[in-house]
Amino acid sequence: MATNEATVSRGLLGAPPLTEEDAARSADRSRVHQARARRRRWYLLWLLVGPGILAMLGENDGPSMIAYASDGAQYGLGFFVPFIPVLFAMSYVCQEMCMRIGAVTHRGYGELVLQRYGRVWGWFGAADLTLTNLVTLVAEFVAIRVGLAYFHLGAGVAVALGMSLVLFTLSGGRYWRWERIVLGLALFNLLFVVAAVMVKPGAGTLASSLSFTPLPGGSFNTLLLLLASTIGATVTPWMIFFQQSASADKGMTPADVAHGRYDTALGAVIAAACGIGALIAGAALLAHGGSGIQGFAGAGFPQALRHVDGSAAGAVFALGLIEAGAVAILTISASTAYAAGECVGASHSFNASPRNVDIFHAANVGVALIAALVILIPGAPLLSIALNANVLATVLLPVSLVLMLMLANDEHLMGRWVNKRSTNLVAIGVVAFVALCGAAYGVDSFLRTIHLVGA
């Protein structure tokens, strides 16, 4: 009765009544407040971690891990061992801004872009995200299919597994439960580190790899493709939408920014280590003739590792691919749902039941279902889709990065939490590098297509 009276009184005073989202978020914030008041630092960190780790490990998706392994199998460890941490450092710069904007404004990326820059840019960003997400989700189901093929299971099982996970994680009706389930699953990305240990790389080989030389061999176009695809494996549009919206959905405030930075940095470190693990595992195939893009066609890399180092390493790598694809499906679908709800002005939170947020949950399940159905189409160009998912993300990323940078520098939104000059300099460098790599690959490929540049 007291709750009803409080709700009525809020309505009489002109304030909107508390929703179930508000109540759920308030309960979570109460635990954070108590942990901070009692100076329980580790418990506070446990309560606040999540969006950063999920954004980073979600980016260690199936296509990315196969790309890392393919890089190792074709070119060895040199160049890529230091390059992967550099890319995740770049990713940290971008994702820290997303977290900070979400914590300060309590608004998602799509919602803020619509409010500050109008419907054209808001809907452009949403369309950009939807196209990239749909292509990437198809690639995630392909990765799960590759992992399951090692255990002699087909595409139907991949679809059933992916969709079951999406529906199961939505069933809790709370952001906290969704986050903890996906976070627990994401930690199995460390299977790629286990696979790296199992192939027993030589100490001398690892030591000599800590250099940006030699550059990958092959044509200039191949080098640009490697750069574009590897960048697309670490920084993508969906990460921007996801972490900012998840930080807001979690109820983070400016007081939580420091812990949000720890969360994002920890995610970057773990993701870089797992990416290097996949690279090392793939490099074990270098002395056995390598393994190229045909790894997507069947059991691929897991089967190749089985011939090199026994069934255990192959099984671990296959399980890692299943995990990587599954976590990416959950986080990428969530970013699509956040964007859909924000763009149409509908409720967009995991803290509300599916009955009250039809658009949010429909977008979450719908985009995953469309991608799942694609891999069941006979003769669908799955190989081409999977291989170009990361490149597409790189090409479409600069617009999202520029808008995010503008939001982080908006004093009316951010107050004293606006970007520092040093952050802006680094961020501008990241945007320029990503744009240059994507544009260079696109222009070079176009020139080759019209035969103005030789192969």
- Reported as a single tens digit per residue, the pLDDT across 258-288 is 999 999 999 999 999 999 999 998 888 876 6
Calpha distance 392→180 (Å, rounded): 30
Among 140-149, 248-257, 267-276, 304-313, the least confident range? 304-313
In sequence order, the 6+-apart residues with CB closer than 8 A to the CB of 252 are 48, 51, 99, 102, 103, 260
Query: Per-residue pLDDT averaged across 417-435, rounded?
Result: 91
* 221/455 Cα distance (integer angstroms): 8
Q: Over 70: is that where the pLDDT of 249 sits? A: yes
Residues 6+ apart with CB under 8 A from 183: 49, 50, 53, 54
In tens, the pLDDT along 200-233 reads 877 666 766 666 666 666 666 667 777 777 777 7
What does the pLDDT read at residue 454?
54
Q: What is the mean pLDDT of the chain?
A: 83
In angstroms, rounded to a whole number, what is the distance separating the alpha carbons of residues 234 and 52?
13
pLDDT interval class at 141 (50, 70, 90) = very high
Q: What is the pTM of this model?
A: 0.87
pLDDT tens by residue, 289-319:
554 444 444 457 788 787 776 678 889 999 9
pLDDT at 190: 96
- The CATH code belonging to domain 54-449 is 1.10.4160
Domain boundaries, the chain: 54-449
